[in-house]
Amino acid sequence: VDYTASKDEL
């Protein structure tokens, strides 16, 4: 499960 990708969200 990828969670780090959420850091590009605002």
What is the distance of C-alpha 1 from the center of its chain? 11
DSSP single-letter state for residue 9: -
**Amino acid occupying residue 7:** K
Supply the minimum distance, in Å, between the C-beta of residue 4 and another protein.
Answer: 8
Supply the minimum distance, in Å, between the C-beta of residue 8 and another protein.
Answer: 5
Q: CA-CA distance, 8 to 6, in Å (whole number)?
A: 5
Supply the minimum distance, in Å, between the C-beta of residue 7 and another protein.
Answer: 6
Pick out residues in 1-10 that bind another protein (CB under 8 A): 1-3, 5-10
Question: What is the binding site for another protein (CB under 8 A)?
Answer: 1-3, 5-10
